[in-house]
Chains A and B, each alone.
Chain A
């Protein structure tokens, strides 16, 4: 299996709802990432998990809560979102975690979840 999968493909939620986005990979990759991509903009890194531990949080609001139950799964829990959080949420994985001073590995992206907050 050489793919990163994400569910659901589309999600519409109200500002008081709680929902979760899911990401899965079976390539044996040890690092997984969440990105947010607004229309006509580049992806922006939100979270990095390395060996199932959150290693980097890019100052993302607490209404986004990541979870990594095991090395193949990555969740993003959503609560009390705002309309401006509507975007494409992309998951990615890479062979190994970023090592200080060494070049990083290529990231493989999932198809994304298109989130609309009403």
Chain B
């Protein structure tokens, strides 16, 4: 079945450095790619998303890039801060003409920003 691979599973960076998390999806019908941040014991919160007709999107320190040909997309966080520490999930979503709907999460990346 369809899946979403996410790497790395853990990432430690020094405060102020950049962090990059990568995801690869298998379903060519995927057309929506959100990124969620989940702090311990809290709900997943959408931080940025990108649709298949766009190659890059930026929101302050956060950016996402999408390569449809290679079926991968990446999250870039610049000038990291300790409060960026959390688990980050990518997801890929599709809705086929048959009505089949998929919203598949990656396996998650635990980001630690060291002060």
Report Cα–Cα, A45/B95, bound state, in Å.
14
Whether the pair B42, A111 counts as a contact (CB closer than 8 A) is yes
Give the chain A neighbours of B45 by CB distance below 8 A. 109
Identity of the chain A residue whose Cβ is nearest the Cβ of B97 in the assembled complex: A100
Whether the pair B49, A106 counts as a contact (CB closer than 8 A) is yes
Chain B residue total in the interface (Cβ 8 A): 30
A100-B95, A100-B97, A102-B95 are known contacts. Are A108 and B46 too (CB-CB below 8 A)? yes
Chain A residue total in the interface (Cβ 8 A): 25
A100-B95, A109-B43 are known contacts. Are A42 and B107 too (CB-CB below 8 A)? yes
Pairs of residues from A and B, 10 with the lowest C-beta to C-beta distance, nearest first: A42-B105, A98-B95, A109-B43, A100-B97, A98-B101, A103-B32, A103-B51, A104-B93, A103-B31, A104-B32
Give the chain B neighbours of A112 by CB distance below 8 A. 43
Name the one of B46, B99, B105 contacting A106, with C-beta atoms under 8 angstroms: B46
A98-B101, A102-B95, A103-B31 are known contacts. Are A110 and B108 too (CB-CB below 8 A)? no
Identity of the chain A residue whose Cβ is nearest the Cβ of B108 in the assembled complex: A42
Report Cα–Cα, A49/B45, bound state, in Å.
21
Name the one of A33, A40, A44, A104 contacting B95, with C-beta atoms under 8 angstroms: A104
| Minimum distance in angstroms from B51 CB to a CB of chain A | 5
Q: B54-97 toward A: CB 8 Å interface, digit per residue (1/0)?
A: 00000000000000000000000000000000000100011111
Report Cα–Cα, A109/B37, bound state, in Å.
11
A40-B108, A106-B34 are known contacts. Are A90 and B43 too (CB-CB below 8 A)? yes
Whether the pair A111, B95 counts as a contact (CB closer than 8 A) is no
